[in-house]
Amino acid sequence: MKILRTNKLQRVLTRLQKKLTSSKGLILTYHRVAQVKRDPWCLCVTPQHFNEHLEVLQKYYNPLSLQQLVKALGENRIPERAVVVTFDDGYADNFYHAKPLLEKYNIPATFFISTGYIGQNREFWWDELERLILQPKKLPEKLRLTIGGNVYQWNLDQAANYTEEDCQRDRTCKTWKAKPGSRLFFYYSIWQVLRSLLKEERQKILDEILEWAVAEPTPRATHRSLLPEELSALAEGELVEIGAHTVTHPFLSAQSITLQRDEIKQSKIDLEQMINRPVTSFSYPFGDRSAETIEIVKNCGFNCTCSTDQDIIWPKSDHFQLPRFDAENWDKKQFENQLLKWFNS
């Protein structure tokens, strides 16, 4: 009991210290600058809204590169209102829509890339699953999949029907808040099973779902990842840092140490070869990591890593578990309010 009380007191004190210190900053996570039909993970910010976000950052904040922030953190002198922009995954729109706007406002950014998707003729698996499941059409009432020796069975019942109206309603609905029994919940439920699989097995299952759903096998141009030449062009100049985000975007803590090491190390090697520059920043896919993952990242020669924990950066932040806040498709006013809220939290 005593230990619990001490921990609680420590948490309250830490929160208070964070609130009072002016030496704090924050890291923003973006994924895509694009407008799409459905966005079940809130990954897209429209070009107009991204432009507005950058305008706000330039006007009222102190935009830094991730490496500048890490250096300042190490020297215990984080400048006031420091904000870092990061992107995860490696969508093609990062080059076509995000980079020109970053250049317009002279704001640096780090792009974390999953190298196995570069130049591939397949969508990121969560997008492919969305294309198969969340299209407005009738699906068979039962789905049965055998994964790793386990049988998974879904009865879709009412979710077998999915109209254009349902689709519109779910357009910006957050998947993790989906109502049980809905098509969106069905999508989320398969997503959870696929998340911990390795690429080959996941691909096999996606092919089975494709056949079951009688869906379009062609990847969408709107959802493609960067080509090697686009990645090189994105990396050009002083504003952009390229960071690693594994090869196949696995749920790292569910994998063996050897596989984790291969994924982390290989993505660094691949990127350094592609862009001809050292790669020293990493971000954990899904923010997921174990104590071993952190050790591997340290031993692979990275000097910082980003997580998806939602918090500010302050003098006691861990360089290998830097928290970030998710930027959503907010307009200027909403973004301004959100930043104030985060800085005062």
Closest separation between CB of residue 340 and Zn ion, Å? 27
Which regions of 12-80 does DSSP assign to beta strands (E)?
A: 25-30, 32-33, 44-45, 62-64
Residue closer to Zn ion (CB basis): 302 or 314: 302
CB of 307 to Zn ion, least distance (A): 12
Q: Give the residue nearest to Zn ion (CB).
A: 88
Q: What number of other Cβ atoms are within 10 A of residue 277's Cβ?
A: 11
Report yes or no: 219 and 101 within 8 Å, Cβ to Cβ. no
Interatomic CA distance for residues 345 and 126, integer angstroms:
32
Closest approach, Cβ 286 to Zn ion, in A, equals: 7
The contact mask relative to Zn ion for 33-72 (x = CB under 5 A, - = no) is ----------------------------------------
- Residue 68 has a CB neighbour count (10 Å cut-off) of 18
Q: State in angstroms the smallest separation of the CB of 285 from Zn ion.
A: 5
Alpha-carbon gap, residue 34 to 325, rounded angstroms: 19
Considering the complex, what minimum distance in angstroms separates the CB of residue 139 from Zn ion?
A: 27
Q: Measured from the CB atom, is 125 or 320 closer to Zn ion?
A: 125
d(C-alpha 255, C-alpha 101), whole Å: 38
One-letter amino acid of 17: Q
Which residue's CB is nearer to Zn ion, number 122 or number 137? 122
Q: Among residues 108 and 285, whose Cβ is nearest to Zn ion? A: 285
Counting residues that bind Zn ion (by CB under 5 A) gives 3
Question: Which has the closest alpha carbon to 88: 24, 42, 47, 49?
Answer: 42
Closer of 159 and 250 to Zn ion (Cβ): 250
Q: Environment class of residue 315 by beta-carbon count within 10 Å: exposed (0-12), middle (13-18) or buried (19+)?
A: middle
Q: Give the residue with the Cβ less far from Zn ion, 65 or 307.
A: 307
Please state the closest distance from residue 89 (CB atom) to Zn ion, in A.
Answer: 4
Nearest CB to Zn ion, comparing residues 89 and 241? 89
Cα–Cα distance between 341 and 345 in angstroms, integer? Answer: 6
- Secondary structure element (H or E) that encloses residue 88, with its range: strand 82-89
CB of 17 to Zn ion, least distance (A): 31
Write out the binding residues for Zn ion, residues 270-299 only, by CB under 5 A: 285
The contact pattern for Zn ion, residues 77-96, with x = CB under 5 A and - = no contact, is -----------xx-------
Q: How many whole angstroms separate alpha carbon 326 and alpha carbon 91? A: 17
- Residues at the interface with Zn ion (CB under 5 A): 88-89, 285
